């Protein structure tokens, strides 16, 4: 079997796929790629199933070598990447020759980059998924010296090439996020809800695959009766207020239940944008109606379905290359999130 060899890795390079749905009643959240859209983009670029696992590069990439010719795709947070010193365009597919070294640096913006491999990653599935779920103790960050077994690449065998790209909207610098009111929204006084919508937040430094802190000037956002709320189901996208009324957006590895009140829930269509927001970038939240959220969901589903048709040949434009290399580097910061412990 052929392998991808890890020569060097950032602090949080993990195998990710669409995660493990179906274990909420056993206390295990779905997990999976922090930016599921990036997973679908990589699958489209390589013409393979979005169920294929990829490497998620949190903040920082790594150095890799394959022992066979390997189709790869790079998606998500743009990172400087090169093969044997030759720069690569992001959101594109490339051929990594056997023995050549692929080097991926720190995110220029955004938080999570992805390295997709033709045929996916053939590590054993645990509970139906290959994804590391760090909070649950499943899998771990890759280390230099690790070898990942490569799946057989039916696409390459069928003559599918590389040198394709996808034009993607910027979802890597924060911005406006749509949220739905939920069952605990009424616990927040109208004044607090209004202030939440008008507040400009910055993504805090405390962030990982469980959730990310939001920071703002001024008072916190406390709910009425905050201390006596029964622990209830929580879901990725929930914006919970920790004890001091500071908001935390929950991400795919969040606990399945929790006792902090939630002011609202990010709509699924905006989850990739939230997860990709780099430390220090601005975020603003606005309540939308259920009808608006449903319309956004339908557009999101249509966008995902259309991705394979939007792949186009990569034009090797030196101006674009120059732009890519001129971005300012922003380091990803990964640290412990505030936990809601029993």
Partner 1 sequence: MTAAQMRTGISFPAIRPVGLTGLLVSFSDRLEEPANRAALAFRAAVEAAAWPGVEETSTSLASSYLRFDPLILSPEALTERLRALLSTRDWRAAPLPPGRRLFRVPTLYGTDLAPQLAEAAAEAGLSPEAAIADLGATRVRVLTIGFAPGQPYLGELGTAWDLPRQSALTARVPAGALVLAVRQLTLFTAPAPTGWRHVGQTRFRCFRPEAPDPFPLSPGDEMIFAPVSRADYDRLGDVTDHGLRIEEIAG
Binding residues for partner 1, rule: CB under 8 A, are 21-28, 126-127, 135-138, 180-183, 230-233, 235, 237-238, 255-258, 265-268, 290, 293-294, 297-298, 301, 339, 341-342
> Rounded to the nearest whole angstrom, what is the least distance from the CB of residue 256 to partner 1 in the complex?
5
Nearer to partner 1, 97 or 303 (CB): 303
Nearer to partner 1, 141 or 256 (CB): 256
> Rounded to the nearest whole angstrom, what is the least distance from the CB of residue 321 to partner 1 in the complex?
40
From the list 211, 40, 51, 23, the residue with the least C-alpha distance to 131 is 51
> Rounded to the nearest whole angstrom, what is the least distance from the CB of residue 286 to partner 1 in the complex?
15
Between β-strands 282-287 and 175-180, what pairing exists: parallel, antiparallel or unpaired? parallel
Nearer to partner 1, 23 or 285 (CB): 23
Nearer to partner 1, 315 or 341 (CB): 341
For residue 68, what are the CA distances in angstroms to 84, 96, 153, 165, 187?
A: 15, 8, 11, 23, 57
From the list 254, 75, 229, 247, the residue with the least C-alpha distance to 165 is 75
Nearer to partner 1, 28 or 156 (CB): 28
What does 209-266 look like in DSSP terms, one character per residue? SSEEEEE-SS---PPTTGGGPPPEE--TTEEEE-TTS-EEEE-TT--SEE-S-EEEEE
> Rounded to the nearest whole angstrom, what is the least distance from the CB of residue 248 to partner 1 in the complex?
15
> Rounded to the nearest whole angstrom, what is the least distance from the CB of residue 251 to partner 1 in the complex?
13
The alpha-carbon radius of gyration of the chain (Å, integer) is: 20
Token pair for residue 52? 């294929």
Q: Counting beta carbons within 10 angstroms of the beta carbon of residue 260, is it exposed (0 to 12), middle (13 to 18) or buried (19 or more)?
A: buried
């Amino acid at each position: 079997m052929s392998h991808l060899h890890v020569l060097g890795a950032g602090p949080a390079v993990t195998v990710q796929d669409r995660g493990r749905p179906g274990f909420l009643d056993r206390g295990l959240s779905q997990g999976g790629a922090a930016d599921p859209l990036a997973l679908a983009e990589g699958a489209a670029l390589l013409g393979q199933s979005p169920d294929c696992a990829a490497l998620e590069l949190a903040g920082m990439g790594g150095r890799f070598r394959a022992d066979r010719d390997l189709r790869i795709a790079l998606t998500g947070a743009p990172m400087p990447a090169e093969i044997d010193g030759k720069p690569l365009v992001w959101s594109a597919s490339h051929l990594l020759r056997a023995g050549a070294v692929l080097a991926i640096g720190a995110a220029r913006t955004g938080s999570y980059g992805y390295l997709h491999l033709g045929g996916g990653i053939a590590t054993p599935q645990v509970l139906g998924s290959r994804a590391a779920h760090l909070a649950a103790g499943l899998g771990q960050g890759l280390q230099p010296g690790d070898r990942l077994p490569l799946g057989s690449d039916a696409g390459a065998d069928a003559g599918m090439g590389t040198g394709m790209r996808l034009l993607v909207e910027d979802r890597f610098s924060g911005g406006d996020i749509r949220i739905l009111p939920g069952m605990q929204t009424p616990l927040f006084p109208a004044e607090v809800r209004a202030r939440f919508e008008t507040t400009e937040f910055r993504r805090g430094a405390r962030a990982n695959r469980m959730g990310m802190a939001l920071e703002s000037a001024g008072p916190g956002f406390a709910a009425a009766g905050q201390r006596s709320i029964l622990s209830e189901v929580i879901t990725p996208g929930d914006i919970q207020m920790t004890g001091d009324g500071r908001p935390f957006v929950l991400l795919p590895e969040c606990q399945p239940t929790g006792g902090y009140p939630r002011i609202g829930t990010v709509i699924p269509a905006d989850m990739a944008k939230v997860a990709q927001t780099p430390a220090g970038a601005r975020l603003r939240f606005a309540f939308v109606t259920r009808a608006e959220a449903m319309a956004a969901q339908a557009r999101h589903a249509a966008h995902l379905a259309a991705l394979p048709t939007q792949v186009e040949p990569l034009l090797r434009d030196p101006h674009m290359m120059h732009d890519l290399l001129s971005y300012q580097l922003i380091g990803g910061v990964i640290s412990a999130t505030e936990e809601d412990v029993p």
